[in-house]
Amino acid sequence: MKGKFLCGLLVSLLISGCGDDNTPTEKVLKEQFSNQFHGRLILDSIDIKETSVDGNKRTYAADGLLSTGYDLYTPVASLTDYIVVQKSWDKGKDIKFSATLNSLGNKDTGWKTIFSSLQMSETPKGNPIPNVETDGKYIIMDGAGFDDKINAIKDEYARKKSKLNELNNDIAKVKTNILVINKEIDEYWGKGEDGKTQSRYFVQRDLNKELELFNKENAPYYFEKKYNAEVFDPAMKARREKLKNYRLSDFDDIRAEKRAVLEKHKEEYSVKYNEINEKIKA
């Protein structure tokens, strides 16, 4: 830390004391360096030497110390619900660097600086992980509570394995029950006239035929047609012949009787139809 302080003091002298109004300040360099590298690299100290000048454009040879803005981590293992990581870089570790610094501007207008050709004594490895120490899905190798977390995972695995064994036993029981139920289902359909065990397919086929025949003989349309031919039309004809002169109201009783007969048949038909249909669905 003393080295960083002395280097910072040196850059202040080099930049503000020995330079002119075109030389960017240490504060500007640190802020723009951090922005250029999106906060992943932090400029701790810097020494710059002017190498070329073109109006308010200047180029410097720069060297100094930098560090990372975050601790960096590398994945080690991926478990079902957890990711094991290892700290691969400490954000407080110094890195020597050299670079080319291009500066545009002066004290009055402000500066725009760009660092290029950056060379570092070491390359940080890994990536920052937000809230790694509090996010429950991460386990840090050799970190606080590492052994406790691993033991908890082992216990959880043992519980899940025990539960899986129970489920496998339950599955075996279910398969046995299915075989029993299948046998009961086969026997449920009974036997045909030939004495053979019937299947659901053949029973449903026969029921469909029964329903089709029932519809042909009893559907309201066919029943009304038959009723008209056998009862209603003859009754209307006989009444007309008897009265000679008649009004429409003279036939109200015949029509009322027809409506009552049709309504009763419709109810009986619906009950029987549903009865056969339920057998088909069974």
**Average pLDDT over the chain, rounded to whole?**
84
Q: Give the percent of the chain with pLDDT over 90.
A: 44
Q: Assign 21 to helix, strand or coil.
A: coil
Beta strands in 69-181 (DSSP E): 72-78, 83-89, 95-106, 110-120, 138-140
- The token pair at 15 is 């930049």
What is the rounded CA–CA span in Å between residue 39 and residue 68? 8
Task: Give residue 90's pLDDT band: very low, low, confident or very high (50, 70, 90).
Answer: very high
Q: Which residue, 90, 77, 88, is CA-closest to 149?
A: 77
Give the chain's count of helices (H) and strands (E). Answer: 7, 7
Q: Are 78 and 64 in contact (CB under 8 A)?
A: no
Question: What is the distance between the alpha carbons of residues 236 and 258, in angstroms, rounded to a whole number?
Answer: 11
Cα–Cα distance for residue pair 60/78, rounded to 1 Å:
46
Residues 230-268 have pLDDT tens digits of 999 999 999 999 888 889 898 999 999 999 999 999 898
pLDDT band at 73 (very low <50, low <70, confident <90, very high): very high
